[in-house]
Amino acid sequence: MGWASGNEIFDPVAETLIIEGASDALKKSVCSALIKALRDRDWDTEDESLGMFEHDEAIVEAFRQNGIILECHEEHPENPWQCEEERNHCGSHRDDLGNTWTDLGSLDRLISKFVQIDKGSECEFQGVVTNVQPVEQSNGKSARIVEMEHDGQWGFVYQQTAVKVTENPEGE
Ligand SMILES: [Zn+2]
């Protein structure tokens, strides 16, 4: 049995920190310690408090440090898959079984990010995205041409293509 009353302790403390204008560092360390202490006592409704303070990045980070994130929960248009990545994540959706799918309309947000595009058996390419252009496939479905910074490299991205935002290995 979990313990739901943790919110009655966490929420007023977090609210007071905000009202008093605590720095991000202070909010983060106080909230993180409090979340840990409450979870040690079986607090299991943390996501409600996270939802209440989802607009405060320092508090969201305190939850993240304790392994608690707001999930994207986007559903695959055909399959019974639900995304478990963090809300507002970049790149493909991914469920708890590792199924991935890509929301083509969100690819614009990848411009200037370093990404890895995995096309299964075909090929894999990576680099900093410089441009994303919509195209129509011969079957009438839409796709995107993703252009990369180096050597005019580009590739097609379909809904089933996995796109992952990663660190640039060259550290640029
Ligand atoms: Zn998602």
> What does the pLDDT look like over 43-101, one tens digit per residue?
989 999 999 999 999 999 999 999 999 999 999 999 999 999 998 898 999 999 999 99
170 CA → ligand 1 middle, Å: 27
Distance 83 CA to ligand 1 centre (A): 5
Report in angstroms the alpha-carbon separations of 141 from 120, 135, 136.
19, 9, 6
CATH number of 101-165: 2.30.30
Q: What separation in Å is there between the alpha carbon of 166 and the centre of ligand 1?
A: 16
CA of 81 to the centre of ligand 1 (A): 10
Please provide the size of the chain in residues: 172
Question: Mean pLDDT across the stretch 97-123?
Answer: 88
Report, as an integer, the average pLDDT of 157-170. 88
The two structure tokens encoding residue 154? 């580009």
Q: pTM here?
A: 0.75
What pLDDT does residue 1 have? 47
Are 86 and 70 within 8 A, CB to CB? Answer: yes
**Per-residue pLDDT tens over the stretch 130-160:** 999 999 988 888 999 999 987 778 888 999 8
Q: What is the pLDDT of residue 63?
A: 97
Distance of CA 89 from the midpoint of ligand 1 (Å): 6
Quick one: pLDDT at residue 154? 87
| pLDDT surpasses 60 at 24 | yes
Whose tokens are 């202490």? That residue is 37
Q: Is the pLDDT assigned to residue 123 strictly greater than 90?
A: no
Q: Tell me the CA distances in angstroms from 113 to 72, 88, 108, 170, 172, one per residue in order.
A: 20, 15, 10, 13, 11
For residue 110, pLDDT over 90 is answered with yes
How large is the average pLDDT for residues 22-45? 96
Cα(92) to centroid(ligand 1), Å: 7
Q: Where in the chain are the domains?
A: 6-65, 101-165
